[in-house]
Amino acid sequence: MQQPQIPLGFTRTPSEDDPRRDPDLLAALERIAPGTDLRQAIDDIIRSREGALIVVGDPNELAFLFSGGMRLDQPFTSQFLFELAKMDGAIIVNSTLSKIAYANVQLMPDPTIPSSETGTRHRTAERVAKQTGALVVSISQQRSTISVYVGPARYQLESVPEVLAKTNQALATLETYTQRLDQVLTRLTALEFQNTVVLDDVLVVLQRAEMTKRIAAEIDRDCIELGAEARLIRMQLHELVGDVPAERAAVVRDYHADGSGARAELALEGLRSLPYRRLLESERLVELLGYSRDVNTLDHAVTPRGFRILSSIRRLPESLIKKVVADLGDLESIVRASQRDLEAISGVGAVRAREIREGLRRLQEHNLVDRYLQL
């Protein structure tokens, strides 16, 4: 089987070690992304060569943790936060970012909480986040860096130009992957209509679809970090990814050895959780699809049930697709079914039957054109 390679020029392999996979951290990054009032204040602090320690959470729940300072309870504005950062102590902002509750307070987290940080401000920030689960932003005066802490998670923000450069590089890689995925999907469609699919054809599609989805997910995390700066990137991402997740799911339901029910759904979960290197192992994918690990994928013929092809017909409800597949069994039987055969299926009727027959005809013709253009 032809193995997908690590994307050329994509320095960050779609990885399991991206801390932004933590949903709490990702939600925190969204709150401090470019375009938000909090980020405006942070950028102003960086530009003025100041440092700051900002805690976002319920002031009442955090009260045991700090002493001194000034109680403000004033409306939150980026300019006000910037001015308060000129004082030495920490700033407490409420959870909704609507009020600045306290300023110039001394934070006293549990000193026994382990910390990998060396600077006093960052060490305090890490311990406060671990102890309370609050969002803590530490801005280094000397290094002009922004560190974000949420619970045990820590993330140092890169500059917007750096993130944009990496994201655009990833977009180029994603475009290449989607083009290759389209090619193998076109080939799979042709083989399905000819009823000549072997297991290897299915594995190639699943690998490329999953890789495409993972690269897209990483770009989506970049977009969250970029905030308002990612508007055009989001548009490109949506255009490139399209129906890839649905296609991937339909392929699993078409070819899982134990049918399209609960085991197929478990296989989809297993595919999502596979480490990157395991995704390149055909034996593991074979097992996920319910086949023996030692099966010869190049010789083992498989028959599509028809979920993916029927899903390509516009305005055909998923519930109806399930009925057609359940009644006729596989794609070959669906293609050969007459108007009367389709009408006899519960819930189909004359109009839907014509749509299915016409849709299948158009897909076959369109597939022939696509294959000719790729030659």
List, for residues 85-94, the tens digit of each pLDDT value.
Answer: 999 899 999 9
Q: What is the pLDDT of residue 370?
A: 55
As a whole number of Å, the end-to-end CA separation of the chain is 21
Domain membership of residue 220 (yes or no) is no
**Can you tell me which residue has the tokens 């696509």?**
370
What φ, ψ does residue 260 adopt, rounded to 5°? -100, 15
Domain membership of residue 32 (yes or no) is yes
Give the span between the Cα atoms of 295 and 205, in whole angstroms.
Answer: 18
- State the CATH number of the domain containing residue 348: 1.10.150.20
Give the span between the Cα atoms of 250 and 306, in whole angstroms.
Answer: 9
What φ, ψ does residue 106 adopt, rounded to 5°? -100, 120
Domain membership of residue 283 (yes or no) is no
In contact, 102 and 124? CB cutoff 8 Å: no
Residue 167 has pLDDT above 50, yes or no: yes
Residue 3 has pLDDT above 70, yes or no: no
Q: Residue 134 burial (CB < 10 Å; 0-12/13-18/19+)? A: buried
What φ, ψ does residue 172 adopt, rounded to 5°? -65, -40
What's the pLDDT tens digit per position in 253-266? 999 999 888 999 99
In contact, 176 and 187? CB cutoff 8 Å: no
Closest CA to 312 of 259, 262, 364, 239: 364
Of the candidates 117, 141, 157, which is a domain's last residue? 157
Number of domains in the chain: 2
What's the pLDDT tens digit per position in 89-116? 999 999 999 999 999 999 999 999 999 9
Provide CB contacts within 8 A for 96, sequence distance 6+: none
Using DSSP, state whether 260 is helix, strand or coil: coil
What's the pLDDT tens digit per position in 258-297? 988 899 999 999 999 998 888 888 999 999 999 998 999 9
Q: What sign does the CA torsion over 265, 268, 272, 278 have? A: positive
**Can you tell me which residue has the tokens 């001015």?**
83
Provide CB contacts within 8 A for 375, sequence distance 6+: none
Of the candidates 137, 157, 177, which is a domain's last residue? 157
Domain membership of residue 332 (yes or no) is yes
What's the rounded mean pLDDT across residues 52-75? 96
Kindly indicate the confidence band of residue 15, based on its pLDDT and cuts at 50, 70 and 90.
Answer: low
Of the candidates 133, 157, 181, which is a domain's last residue? 157
Q: What is the pLDDT of residue 12?
A: 42
- State the CATH number of the domain containing residue 131: 3.40.1700.10
Give the span between the Cα atoms of 325 and 309, in whole angstroms.
Answer: 11
In contact, 138 and 125? CB cutoff 8 Å: yes
> Which secondary-structure segment (H or E) carries 136?
strand 135-139
Identify the domain containing residue 75 by its residue range. 19-157
Give the span between the Cα atoms of 287 and 110, in whole angstroms.
Answer: 48
Q: What is the pLDDT of residue 8?
A: 37
- What 8-state DSSP symbol labels residue 198? B
Give the predicted TM-score (pTM) of the model.
0.85
What's the rounded mean pLDDT across residues 145-162? 95
Domain membership of residue 284 (yes or no) is no
What's the rounded mean pLDDT across residues 323-330? 95
In contact, 124 and 107? CB cutoff 8 Å: yes
56-86 burial, b at 16+ Cβ within 10 Å, e below that, comes to: bbebeebeebbeebeebeeebebebbbebbe
Domain membership of residue 218 (yes or no) is no
